[in-house]
Amino acid sequence: MTQPSSNVALATLLLAASNPARADDDPQGTLTIGAGFSTDESFIAEAQVAHPDLFGTGQGLSLTALISALRQDFVLAYDVPRLAPGLDLHAELYDHARNYPSHTRNALGGALELDHALSRSTRIYAQYRIERVQVDPAPADAVARTTMPPPELGTGTRSWLGAGVEHTTLDMPFLPMRGTHLALYTEASDDHIARIHGELDHARPLGPLTLRVHGHATLVHAAGGVPLSERLFHDGRADVLGYEIGAIGSPLGETAEAIGRVELELPLVPCAGLSLAGFANAGYRYNTDAAYGPVQGLLYRSVGASLIWRSPIGALRFDFARALDGERGWVFGFGLGGF
């Protein structure tokens, strides 16, 4: 299913098409328009039209579009609460495009998800999705620069069956001040590709400071080798600050990654939402398929400081990161929104 957009600040306009005689009973549809900017994605534009209660049935329908220099996402989603006792249904049709240094990946498909709430903060879910994937190598021959045979691109139709568990008590999705988020998801495809992914976010006050810890890890495996379309790539400042997209790892990607970040935020002018943060990042990437490059791992780390302004239009981050591996020096990053 779709994930929350990063580095996007949203301005919301509520549109109500209500019966004047029952204005208090009629739900409102929403039109949400957002814009953002980051040094990785350049300008980001997002729009969503949604209605949470179609014709008074309690069912929701939404159409979301997001466009940036790196990705283009279009999602039509349909939600049916209480489809059966204890079960909610989420269905969507999507068109996702992502530009990588070595190729462009386009996925057109659909997904069905059944959710069961264990508590107000914890849910389990099962998901089935099917998609048509198209992979187009970049004209800059990043794939051809390797001395290995041409890799399998992974173009074709592929279906996935997966399940996961999620627990969250975060007070806000971006730059939280307190709470915990834990997620674990695993899935397998009809052509025997397996993926497992885990996430951890934790925030807590330490006197005047706020401590934030983030980690995520992914492993992808296939007996005959993981095709290019399903491999893992460094995601720029969203993974490890100080290393741009394409600056780390093989142009053909890896099959395992682990990312960690710890950050301490100190309020400078609390009434204005201005803070200073210090951070340390680390990432580890590993390739297990010899057809895509050396079978080896790569560790990369950075430290730095950020100026954070929680402005009326969203959180602005000005990051100064020092890469500790290689001769990269200081790197400046800017984002309107959060990770």
pLDDT of residue 205: 96
What digits encode the pLDDT tens for the residues 265-279?
A: 999 998 888 999 999
pLDDT of residue 138: 78
Domain map of the chain by residue range?
A: 9-336
pLDDT of residue 224: 84
The residues facing 96 across adjacent strands are 73, 107
> Do the beta carbons of residue 111 and residue 129 sit within 8 Å?
yes
pLDDT of residue 260: 97
pLDDT of residue 147: 43
**DSSP state letter for 232:** B
pLDDT of residue 54: 86
The torsion defined by the Cα of 237, 238, 240 and 241, in degrees rounded to 10, comes to 30
pLDDT of residue 16: 34
pLDDT of residue 132: 97
Tokens, residue 42: 């350049």
pLDDT of residue 27: 58
Q: What is the DSSP string of 285-311?
A: EE---GGGS-S-EEEEEEEEEEEEEEE
The residue among 32, 316, 320 whose CA lies nearest residue 174 is 316
What digits encode the pLDDT tens for the residues 151-164?
A: 688 999 999 999 99
Q: What is the CATH number of domain 9-336?
A: 2.40.160.50
Length of the chain: 339
Q: How many angstroms separate the CA atoms of 63 and 74, rounded?
A: 7
Query: Which parts of the chain register pLDDT below 50?
Result: 2-24, 142, 144-148, 339
